[in-house]
Chain A
Amino acid sequence: MTNILDDYALMSPLRHRNNWLKLAIVLFGLLAGISSTSPVTPLFIAFCMGFTTVALGRAPLKLYLKLLLAPLGFAVTGVLIIALFSGSGQELLSFKLMGYSVLLRKDGLELALLVLSRSLSGMCCLYFLVLTTPMIELFAVLKATRLPESFIELSMLIYRYIFVFLGMAISIRYAQTVRLGYSSFSRSLRSLGMLGSTLFIRSWEQGDKLFLAMNSRCYDGKMTLFEVHRPVRVPELLLTSAYFLLTLALLYLTKNASIV
């Protein structure tokens, strides 16, 4: 079976740290990144988050780079357009492209760099959360947000059954493949249709079975969520504060600086 992102989060050693601390770090990173006016702070945040995810969170570096690459592709195209078509200050570069003259201006370039670094820092922050905090840890957080109980219960059950049905879909597909269900285009369509309908019926049945399973253990309409208590340890606190302070300092120092 292929690993999905949640699996990496489950294996990460940072999984067993305080969820609130992680959330605070991510939130702080996002806010600081957005409120920065120079690219230095966001780049620093991106570096710190990336380092933490890969070195402390043991996310495979290759996977991490691959993950960054996809959204970065979009960001880069957007940034190019901003750099070339916006701004009004000093000209840095100009060339002709298919008859059009393209100008690269100073403030355009600065804006482009800022956007790029901000999106990078945002991505790194979110990936930090995604790769170190599996869904099962977030249920406790959901609960604290005072969402309706049934919503949380439902999300817990859905989480579990996503994997049951994923497993089911994979094995049905495999069973179809070994009996040549995907050997031609029309057959593939037929097989896929069968897969879908079977999955639908199975999920219906599974609902019945789930009800039986819950009832046979005296289900009385509420599913208690047991939070694991994970106190924030001193080294974590120190490291986080150092990171926060450094970021704030950078934010202050680079307030009016320009790098181009």
Chain B
Amino acid sequence: MIILETRSLKYTYPDGTVAIQDLNIEIMKGKKIAFVGQNGSGKSTLFMLLNGTLKPGQGEVLFHGVPFKYDSKSLRDIRKSVGIVFQNSDDQIFAPTVYQDVAFGPANLGYSKERVDACVQQALEYVGLSHLKDKPPHHLSGGQKKRVAIAGIMAMEPEVIILDEPLSNLDPVGADEIVDLLNEFNHFGNTIIISTHDVDLAYRWSDYVFLLSNSKIIGQGTPTEVFKDPELLKKAGLRQPTTLEIYREIERRGLAYGRNSPKTIPELVNTLKPLDLMWVDVPPRVKEGDSLNIGVMYGEYATQSPYEAVNATVLHIHPNGRAIVELKRKGIKAGGILIYDTNNYSLPEIKQILKDGEIAFVGAMGKKSKILAEQDGVGLDVSSGVVDKSILMALCGKRCLILTAGGMVDHAFKRIKEYVEKSGIEFTVGVVNREEGCMWLKETGDNSETLKI
């Protein structure tokens, strides 16, 4: 379903600068959209058009198929549904305290005092700033101000949230937290639009990318499509995402396998398998194209996890009875990833899991979970890029625990599941304290049974 749409949009600044021309875009509901373009390509201007702040010179903007009207009542309705976080937080925060700034939006929506309070508390907790609510903005760091600005918009619960350069001025961990936050917000069905010149971010995060150059859209599509095309990127004045660039170089040297577009480091690592061929003796009646069960390999023969069940496809049978087979490996004691929902948090349970599950690696996603872990002295091995790092550790046969809450649980679970399906490397993944029982630990028991054979 299309939520926002523009038709031959044009905007000229009073001084004559044409910032947007002939722009036709359709934005789907519930997607993560990135606008990528150089400085001055018109991203900020477009965003202000999308929320009715600027009035286009020509063309129109449609929300749910209805053209924007620029009288104050219609604008109010638009702004209630389309929230915008400015590029510079100092332009956005104007109230004397954090609390009052976040409360400004909900109060304008005419909520009761109690409801405003609930919205503000929730939004502040969400961005991990509850403890700063009585501070004046000039006592906050740049990243904290950014989070206040985001909370101020989230508290209004808009359908679409537009963020202009959400990660500028943030440290890596802080940037990661904002990304997690956006993912969670998206998980609840909200549409998220960001602008950025960070191609890596747009490539790995978004569902759909628009390339903007010189006030025009010069390309759009899924990130894989858009960033595959070096010519297009050159035209937009951008470079290829790092993972893709590395992958292209590796592929050119014949070291990578398959024609993929890896987005994350685990996916990149996964493409680094050459075709796995081996000479084996085959029984007489086997034909080319048959599959063979070779059994369990371990030690130096197991390349991806400590133990592997190996199946082989016969490619060619030599007259002397030996054959070339392509191996298909399936790790049986690869590590696993356990996700713990900190909404039902109990320290003894975590300690129990850490001990019984032989957890070698603990990560936390989301400010709330990080704070909980810190308070209770649960040592965290990683706090940014948690899902990726956990997958990498699991591939090395380690077991990981991810502490997180709410929508991020599902998000992490989905991402890891997707990886397992895509890569064909199997390791266990489960959410501990959501479904009844502790499903993963049970599976571990099974695994150790199998391994004794």
Contacts and interface: CB of A to CB of B under 8 A. Distances in A.
Greatest chain B CB density within 10 A among A206, A214, A217 is at: A217
Nearest to A158: B96
B399 interface: no
B53 A136 contact: no
A255 interface: no
Contacts of A223: 95, 104, 107
Contacts of A135: 96
Contacts of A206: 91
Interface stretch (A34-42, A57-65, A110-118, A160-168): A160-168
A39 B368 CA distance: 56
B97 A164 contact: no
Given A213-B91, A228-B134, A218 B116 contact: no
Greatest chain A CB density within 10 A among B84, B86, B95, B116 is at: B95
A156 B76 CA distance: 23
Contacts of A163: 136-138
Contacts of B99: 226, 228
Chain A interface extent, by class: 20 to 34
A225 B15 CA distance: 38
A160 B96 contact: yes
Given A135-B96, A226-B99, A216 B138 contact: no
B80 interface: yes
Interface in A182-227: 206, 209-210, 212-220, 223-226
Nearest to B110: A220
20 contacts: A136-B96, A136-B97, A156-B96, A160-B94, A161-B94, A163-B137, A164-B138, A206-B91, A214-B104, A216-B84, A217-B105, A217-B156, A218-B76, A218-B79, A219-B104, A220-B76, A225-B100, A226-B100, A226-B117, A228-B134
Contacts of A252: none
B79 A224 contact: no
3 A-B pairs closest in CB distance: A163-B138, A224-B107, A217-B105
Given A215-B79, A220-B76, A226 B96 contact: no
Interface string B14-55: 000000000000000000000000000000000010010100
B108 A217 contact: yes
Greatest chain A CB density within 10 A among B51, B53, B100, B152 is at: B100
A225 to B, nearest CB: 7
B217 interface: no
Nearest to A225: B100
A10 B135 contact: yes
Nearest to A139: B96
A20 interface: no
Contacts of A220: 76, 108
Given A164-B138, A215-B53, A226-B99, A157 B94 contact: yes
B139 A10 contact: yes
A85 interface: no
B116 A226 contact: yes
B134 A217 contact: no
Contact of B95 (A134, A156, A215, A218): A156
A159 interface: yes
Given A216-B84, A218-B105, A218-B108, A10 B136 contact: yes
A136 to B, nearest CB: 4
A160 B86 contact: no
Contact of A218 (B53, B80, B86, B137): B80
Contact of B90 (A134, A139, A164, A216): A164
Given A136-B97, A217-B79, 6 more contacts: A134-B136, A157-B94, A160-B138, A164-B90, A213-B93, A223-B104
